[in-house]
Copies of this chain bind each other. A is one copy, B any other.
């Protein structure tokens, strides 16, 4: 962090600051963020799915008619209409225990992860995370002082034998196993979805070791066709109420620039999350949450889901077709039925990161898989996001990319 600008020691970092780790993907931004590239890198929703006209109309109307409210501070708990709609949504997903007192609206799911980490995790606690996992989730847990221990993912979700072994090792090392972070549906980065039985078994393992499950679920509404519909969330299973904290988001089904997400969990936990949010930012953007409340409660988000599913499904199929056609021998890849990502495992000797420069020079960007692994593995893996490019450019970019990996 040295800089020619600084000549003082007064600003020395706290222990927490020293725990924070630069996001390896953001560090690649200068390389993979070039606008002229065919990009499979950025894991963000396509702006083509943003309903601009509706949002513009609602924003303008809310500011003119209700500016006293939507331009003023909000309560920390947030917009009551949006919270009510979230409770309805949770119940519809099978989470019968969802309640207003058990719901906190946040400025994106990242804030939810940060608040949950802050109120549940003490420095040195062990949190079990998927191999690979979402880097933003890891960042929030690291900041809170968690020691992160990875467990593998199979095609049906968590490798429970590996997780059980990691818990045993943690206990024998005299450490405190605290929680499991999981993205059970259309996982970022792998696209893997845990089956119904795997979910039940994960909850049973958590119960046996008195672990909290942090269920991070931003993608579950983005499924492709009825056959792609995922099982109910872990939060909906019997006994989940006592140990699952659930994070949902509107970023992928509406847009992420309006920062609107939620945490659903035990009401006492939510009371602590509310205190933590009060210290963290007092309240979310009043305007953002008011707009999202109108869109969600007015049925405009649900009304657009079929089109969004079709939009990403078509792109996913185009990418899978390219892989079937041209993937180098010895590679494997996931076949997601929703979400934004496909995960490719190249033959073991191939270092995906080492091919990134060649790919970018040839006009295609991707994200190497290694930064998603807390155990130092994954050098022969990569994440491909099919959210940004249209099917024609996906075919074109994949042909280029797979040629580079075949070399």
Contact = CB atoms under 8 A, between A and B. Distances in A.
Interface of A: 1-3, 5-17, 20-23, 26, 44-45, 47, 50, 52-53, 55-57, 59-60, 63-64, 67-74, 76, 99, 101-102, 107-108, 110-111, 114, 118-122, 136, 139-140, 142-144, 210-212, 241-243, 245, 255-259, 265-269, 271-272, 275-276, 278-288
Q: How many copies does the complex hold?
A: 2
Given A20-B272, A255-B72, A279-B139, A10 B243 contact: yes
B280 A111 contact: yes
A64 B242 CA distance: 45
Contact of A5 (B9, B108, B136, B268): B268
Given A5-B266, A5-B267, 11 more contacts: A8-B242, A10-B211, A11-B120, A14-B121, A15-B122, A45-B72, A55-B63, A56-B59, A107-B259, A107-B285, A288-B288
Contacts of A56: 59-60, 63-64, 67
A140 B282 CA distance: 10
13 contacts: A1-B268, A2-B268, A6-B268, A10-B211, A13-B120, A16-B122, A17-B120, A17-B272, A47-B68, A69-B257, A140-B279, A257-B286, A259-B283
Nearest to A1: B268
B267 A73 contact: no
